[in-house]
Amino acid sequence: MFFKKKKKAQLDKNRILNAPLPQHIAIILDGNGRWAKKRGLPRTAGHQEGAMNVREITKICANIGVKALTVYAFSTENWKRPEEEVKFLMKLPIKFFNDFAPELIENDIRLKVIGNVEDLPKDLQKKVLEITEMTQNNKKMTLTIALNYGSRDEIKQAVQQIATDVLDHQLKVEEISEDLIDRYLMTYDLPPLDLMIRTSGELRISNYLLWQLAYAELYFTSIAWPDFKEQQLYEALFDYQSRQRRFGGLSEKK
């Protein structure tokens, strides 16, 4: 369901900030390439602009009280893209981490990376380790970058580890519960997911946080990620706050 765009004057930011905010927001950063093509630029220019926008939206989320922001930067399926684009996308996070590190420290934001980091280029692996260690004690918000990540693969790895622990007698089959599975996922130390945003008009999940999305609210917008600014974030928050989250139960009106 698309959000009907409201004029800026109709959005009361103070009212939004004083209402319950999602504690964990996930975003599928879609539309970078199309944004660039529309402007006669190479797709890499769109990815560069998209990375800059991650920095801005991250700081806004931290400052308004969101506790976790998880963004889908590169999926396990994205290796199928043209070789030159993939090479650029493997270099872009290094520049992103280098440029953003001072702001992460200044804003007390912890950086976490989920996905198969061991399959990334060695220089990127080294930078991921460096930036996560540098920010590990920051408390205000956690920015999680899903990099070489696929949700089915994440669930497969969790099942394999649970099976291994059962065979090693560290775990009993009857102890396996939804809460236990949560603890074996890559997001084990993050709050439950409240809101998932996908930009650029696509209406699908694309193998992203499938387990975690079970009761999250979904918000789709036709705005390309580089154009998703503070105003668009507040529109998504306004829409989130207008919904009744019943988690499978009935509303009080029923």
The DSSP annotation for 195-235 comes to EEEE-TT--S--SSSTTGGGG-EEEE-SS-GGG--HHHHHH
Residue 10: band (very low, low, confident or very high) from pLDDT cuts 50, 70, 90? low
pTM for the full predicted model: 0.92
| The pLDDT of residue 5 | 47
Q: Buried b / exposed e across 126-163, counting CB within 10 Å, b at 16+?
A: ebbeebbeebeebeebbbbbbbbbbbebbeeebeeebe
What does the pLDDT look like over 26-56, one tens digit per residue? 999 999 999 999 999 999 999 999 999 999 9
Residue 4: band (very low, low, confident or very high) from pLDDT cuts 50, 70, 90? very low
What does the pLDDT look like over 201-217, one tens digit per residue? 999 999 999 999 999 99
Active site residues: 30, 78
| The pLDDT of residue 103 | 97
Q: Residues annotated as binding site for substrate?
A: 31-35, 43, 47, 75-77, 79, 81, 198, 204-206
68 vs 91: CA distance, rounded Å? 25
Q: Residues annotated as binding site for Mg(2+)?
A: 30, 217
What does the pLDDT look like over 153-198, one tens digit per residue? 999 999 999 999 999 999 999 999 999 999 999 999 999 999 999 9
Q: Residues annotated as binding site?
A: 30-35, 43, 47, 75-77, 79, 81, 198, 204-206, 217
| The pLDDT of residue 249 | 57
Quote the percentage of the chain above a pLDDT of 70: 92
| The pLDDT of residue 244 | 82
| The pLDDT of residue 57 | 98
What does the pLDDT look like over 140-165, one tens digit per residue? 999 999 999 999 999 999 999 999 99
pLDDT exceeds 80 at position 247: no
What does the pLDDT look like over 80-126, one tens digit per residue? 999 999 999 999 999 999 999 999 999 999 999 999 999 999 999 99
